[in-house]
């Protein structure tokens, strides 16, 4: 297996993007990534998208998007694992370059979520849960994560303040990110008093519905060196799955798929969680960030909430989490999220994070954790400065 690098990145506009279509968003991110890498061609494309069928009535995405990039004929594949689709695209590109079959591969993700009304969006997202055993009975994602939150609070004494602190921290980070959908700061009180969605989760515990796309250029180290642009190495890639049905899990206060994915990535890279300087995690809800910080092995079960409350995961803390603002503030176009996480790690490792959110600690190794549904799948990547 060859060393695999990331050398160029691009984000479309993120938010409620009324004036750009599904295909426009992807083209925008893709062309920015190509320009920033300075590559003159691609060997193939992997695009992550959760549900083009339900959100915009469009499957056969990879060929369509390749055409709109002006690259008809390019080998192109769409990958899907619900909200972890973007991470899967990164992994597929990583494997193709590692194999030697291709030298320059684009990994991208896209979702256009606001072209349907709220009920339809909730239905589309719910297809990441078990249709026959969860959705049929009325479960939605806020409800599923609310159950996980209650269980975690009951078992470990996790508090309202710990949940709120995740939101406050991520909105603070996002306020320095020009690409964030909601770049405003929130206070502990604002989070706790915001509208209730599914007890104990308030609206400011929930990531938003977002239109957006993200793209990166994944390439061999020879190519990365020749381009003369900043690049990082992907030193670990891991994926894991679990039953997508919450009721079938042994323990809903942990995400086993994330543990499996992290352990696989650690094994490939020869690193441990102690070698990781900072991490982007899948904070679709505030409770998810707490559970993931434990599931990837950074904190013992029940210890992440107190650590977050103590400020350990802020920009100045010992283990910054979601310097980008996370899904909470940056936004969550589900298919694009996993790719955007990698973009944040790339920016931090190459000193390109905008404004005051660039870590002062000169980080050497960063990690991403992307998640599907209520934890039925997870993808972890570990990147190191070149």
| Contact between residue 351 and residue 359 where contact means Cβ atoms under 8 Å apart | no
Q: How many CA atoms lie within 13 A of 356 on its CB side?
A: 8
Binding residue for a second copy (CB under 8 A) from 12, 27, 36, 92? 92
What are phi and psi for residue 238, nearest 5 degrees?
-145, 145
For a second copy, the closer CB: 25 or 79: 79
Q: Which residues contact 182 (CB under 8 A, 6 or more apart)?
A: 171, 174, 208, 325, 328, 329, 331
Is 83 noted as a catalytic residue in this protein?
yes
| Contact between residue 203 and residue 194 where contact means Cβ atoms under 8 Å apart | yes
130 binds a second copy (CB under 8 A): yes
Binding residue for a second copy (CB under 8 A) from 34, 124, 327, 340? 124
For a second copy, the closer CB: 82 or 382: 82
What are phi and psi for residue 77, nearest 5 degrees?
-135, 140
CA distance 308 to 314: 8
Minimum distance from residue 132 beta carbon to a second copy (Å): 7
Region of residue 14 (phi > 0: left; psi between -120 and 50: alpha; otherwise: beta): beta
| Contact between residue 174 and residue 325 where contact means Cβ atoms under 8 Å apart | yes
131 binds a second copy (CB under 8 A): yes
Is 206 noted as a catalytic residue in this protein?
no
Minimum distance from residue 165 beta carbon to a second copy (Å): 30
Binding residue for a second copy (CB under 8 A) from 98, 121, 188, 359? 98
Which one from 5, 83, 206, 219 is the annotated catalytic residue? 83
Q: Which residues contact 19 (CB under 8 A, 6 or more apart)?
A: none
Per-residue binder mask for a second copy (CB under 8 A), 41-80, x = binder = ---x-----xxxxx-xxxxxxxxx-xx----xxxxxxxxx
DSSP for 92-126 reads HHHHHHHHTS-SEEEEEEEE--TTS-HHHHHHHHH
350 binds a second copy (CB under 8 A): no
Segment lying near a second copy (by CB under 8 A), choices 106-114, 181-189, 211-219, 253-261? 253-261
For a second copy, the closer CB: 28 or 51: 51
Segment lying near a second copy (by CB under 8 A), choices 140-148, 239-247, 274-282, 357-365? 239-247
The token pair at 200 is: 């104990």
Minimum distance from residue 257 beta carbon to a second copy (Å): 7
| Start-to-end C-alpha separation, the chain | 17
Segment lying near a second copy (by CB under 8 A), choices 183-191, 235-243, 283-291, 357-365? 235-243
Reference 210, options 54, 334, 333; nearest CA is 333
For a second copy, the closer CB: 329 or 374: 374
For a second copy, the closer CB: 103 or 179: 103
Binding residue for a second copy (CB under 8 A) from 16, 35, 38, 101? 101
CA distance 28 to 150: 41
88 binds a second copy (CB under 8 A): yes
Tell me how crowded residue 351 is: count the other CB atoms within 10 A of its CB.
Answer: 12
Minimum distance from residue 210 beta carbon to a second copy (Å): 17
212-220 vs 365-372, strand pairing mode:
unpaired
Q: Which residues contact 63 (CB under 8 A, 6 or more apart)?
A: 76
364 binds a second copy (CB under 8 A): no
Segment lying near a second copy (by CB under 8 A), choices 153-161, 237-245, 281-289, 342-350? 237-245
Catalytic residues: 83, 332
Task: Return residues touching a second copy (CB under 8 A).
Answer: 1, 21, 44, 50-54, 56-64, 66-67, 72-82, 88, 91-92, 95-96, 98-101, 123-124, 127-132, 135, 238-245, 248, 256-257, 260, 264, 372-373, 376-377
């Amino acid at each position: 297996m060859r060393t695999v690098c990331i050398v160029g990145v691009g984000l479309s506009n993120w938010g409620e993007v009324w004036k750009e279509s599904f295909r426009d968003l992807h083209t925008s991110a893709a062309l920015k990534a190509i320009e920033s890498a300075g590559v003159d061609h691609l060997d193939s494309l992997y695009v992550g998208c959760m549900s083009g069928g339900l959100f915009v009535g469009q499957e056969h995405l990879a060929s369509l998007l390749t055409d709109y990039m002006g690259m008809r004929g390019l080998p192109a594949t769409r990958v899907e694992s619900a909200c972890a689709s973007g991470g899967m695209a990164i992994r597929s590109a990583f494997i193709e370059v590692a194999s030697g079959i291709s030298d320059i591969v684009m990994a991208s993700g896209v979702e256009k979520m606001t072209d349907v009304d709220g009920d339809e969006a909730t239905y589309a997202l719910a297809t990441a849960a078990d249709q026959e055993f969860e959705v049929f009975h009325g479960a939605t994602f806020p409800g599923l994560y609310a159950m996980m939150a209650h269980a975690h609070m009951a078992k470990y004494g996790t508090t309202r303040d710990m949940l709120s602190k995740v939101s406050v921290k991520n909105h603070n980070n996002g306020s320095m990110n020009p690409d964030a959908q909601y770049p405003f700061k929130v206070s502990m009180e604002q989070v706790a008093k915001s509208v209730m969605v599914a007890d104990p989760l308030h609206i400011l515990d929930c990531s938003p519905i977002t239109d957006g796309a993200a793209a990166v250029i994944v390439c061999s180290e020879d190519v990365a060196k020749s381009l003369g642009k900043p690049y990082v190495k992907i030193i670990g890639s891991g994926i894991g799955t679990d039953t997508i049905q919450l009721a079938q899990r042994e323990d809903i206060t942990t995400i086993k798929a994330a543990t499996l994915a992290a352990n696989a990535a650690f094994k490939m890279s020869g690193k441990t969680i102690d070698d990781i300087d900072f991490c982007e995690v899948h904070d679709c809800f505030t409770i998810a960030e707490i559970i993931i910080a434990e599931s990837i092995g950074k904190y013992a079960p029940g210890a992440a909430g107190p650590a977050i409350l103590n400020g350990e995961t802020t920009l100045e803390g010992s283990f910054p989490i979601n310097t980008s603002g996370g899904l909470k503030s940056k936004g969550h176009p589900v298919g694009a999220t996993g790719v955007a996480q990698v973009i944040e790690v790339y920016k931090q490792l190459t000193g390109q994070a905008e404004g005051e959110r660039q870590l002062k600690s000169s980080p050497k190794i960063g990690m991403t954790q992307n998640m599907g549904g209520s934890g039925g799948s997870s993808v972890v990547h570990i990147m190191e400065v070149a």
